Amino acid sequence: MTWRVTVLTLFPEMFPGPLGVSLAGKALASGLWALEARDIRHSATDRHRSVDDTPAGGGLGMVLRADVLAAAIDASDVAPDRPRLLMSPRGRPLTQSRVMELAAGLGPLIVCGRFEGVDQRVIEARRLEEVSLGDYVLSGGEIAAMALLDACIRLLPGVMGKLASGADESFSDGLLEYPQYTRPQAFEGRPIPDILLSGDHARVAAWRLAEAEALTKARRPDLWAAAAKARQKRPKNTTDG
Ligand code: SAH
C-alpha cells in the first residue's frame, strides 16, 4: 500500500527536493510512497493573500494566522485517522521509535511553520502534534519535515530491500551503532580490527555489541541509562526475538 504524505507549506516548490533522489526518490517514482505538497497561501481569503499577521501582545516578527491554516488543513481533506504533525521546536523531540510508528502507520499530514510560528488556537483546534527535530531553531518547518520523512521512508517495506528492518542500526536497540570498516585492509597504516576478518560470526557479534555499548556509554549517557533501565524491566526468563 502506498504511504501517503500531505505537506502544508508556504513553499511547495521545496518538495520533493532531496526526497526526489536516491533511495527516497526511487521509492517515490515506484509508488511506495506519494507526496502532495499544498500551498497554505491558496487558503488565504483577503485581497493580498496574507497568511500572517503581527503577534498579539506585541513583539517582533509575524505569526501564521489560525483561520488561514485551519482552512488549509480542512481543504487538504486528510482522513482524521492520519497523524497530524506540526514541525515545531517546542514539540517532543523526534526519536527512532516515533519514526518507526509513523512509518508503520497511515502517512502523516505535516504542517510546516514559518516566521515566528503559528497561532496557538489552530494547534489546539486541529489537534496538531508538535514534533521537534532538536534543540535549535530553523527558519521553517520544511527541512525538518524532510528529515522526518526521510527517516520514515527508508523504513517502508521495499525501500531498502534486504536492509528493510534497519534492525542493526543506531537506536534500534537503544544503543549507538558499532564502528564500520570496509576495504582497503590497511588505510594510512590503520588496519581493520582482526576479529572482523576472522570469519567467526559469534565473536564478531560479541565484539560489535561490546563496541556499541562502550560508544553509547561514552557519548550518550542518557541513552545508556535508558537502555539499562529497559533491560532491568524485561522479565528474566524471556529472550529477545
Ligand atoms: N519563534 C519560534 C520559532 C519559529 S521558527 C520559537 O521560538 O519556538 C519557524 C518555524 O520553523 C517553526 O514554526 C517550525 O515549523 C520550524 N522549526 C524551527 N525549528 C524547528 C525545530 N527544531 N524542529 C522542527 N521545526 C522547527
- The pLDDT tens digits of the residues spanning 31-52 come to 999 999 999 999 999 999 999 9
- pTM for this prediction: 0.94
Assess if residue 161 is contained within a domain: no
Confidence of residue 65 (pLDDT cuts 50, 70, 90): very high
Instruction: Calculate how far, in angstroms, residue 130's C-alpha sits from the geometric centre of ligand 1.
Output: 10
What is the CATH number for 228?
Answer: 1.10.1270.20
Name, in order, each residue with C-beta under 8 angstroms of 180's C-beta and a sequence gap of 6 or more: none
What is the CATH number for 79?
Answer: 3.40.1280.10
Of 153, 182, 213, the residue at which a domain comes to its end is 153
Report how many domains make up the chain. Answer: 2
Assess if residue 96 is contained within a domain: yes
Closest residue by CA, ligand 1 atom 22: 89
Closest residue by CA, ligand 1 atom 1: 116
Assess if residue 241 is contained within a domain: no
Gap between the Cα atoms of 51 and 33, Å rounded: 29
Residue 136 CB less than 6 A away from ligand 1: yes
Give φ, ψ of 118 to 5 degrees. Answer: -120, 155
Q: Which of 200, 204, 87 is nearest to 149 (CA)?
A: 87
Q: Which residue of 8, 86, 88 sits with most ligand 1 atoms within 8 Å of its CB, as the best mutation to test the pocket?
A: 88
Indicate whether 118 and 31 sit together in one domain: yes
Assess if residue 160 is contained within a domain: no
Q: Is the confidence at residue 236, as pLDDT, over 70?
A: no
Average pLDDT, the chain: 94
Residue 64 CB less than 6 A away from ligand 1: no
Closest residue by CA, ligand 1 atom 20: 89
Residue 69 CB less than 6 A away from ligand 1: no
Q: How much is the average pLDDT of 88-100? A: 97
Closest residue by CA, ligand 1 atom 21: 89
pLDDT digits (tens, 9 = 90+) for 154-167: 999 999 987 655 67
Gap between the Cα atoms of 199 and 164, Å rounded: 24
C-alpha 47 chain-centroid distance: 37
Q: How much is the average pLDDT of 213-234? A: 92
Indicate whether 100 and 219 sit together in one domain: no
Confidence of residue 241 (pLDDT cuts 50, 70, 90): very low
Closest residue by CA, ligand 1 atom 3: 116
Indicate whether 74 and 182 sit together in one domain: no
Percent of the chain with pLDDT over 90: 88
For residues 138 and 169, the model is more confident at 138
Assess if residue 70 is contained within a domain: yes
For residues 83 and 235, the model is more confident at 83
Q: Which domain holds residue 146?
A: 3-153
Indicate whether 148 and 60 sit together in one domain: yes
Name, in order, each residue with C-beta under 8 angstroms of 3's C-beta and a sequence gap of 6 or more: 32, 33, 34, 103, 106, 107, 152, 153, 156
Residue 90 CB less than 6 A away from ligand 1: yes
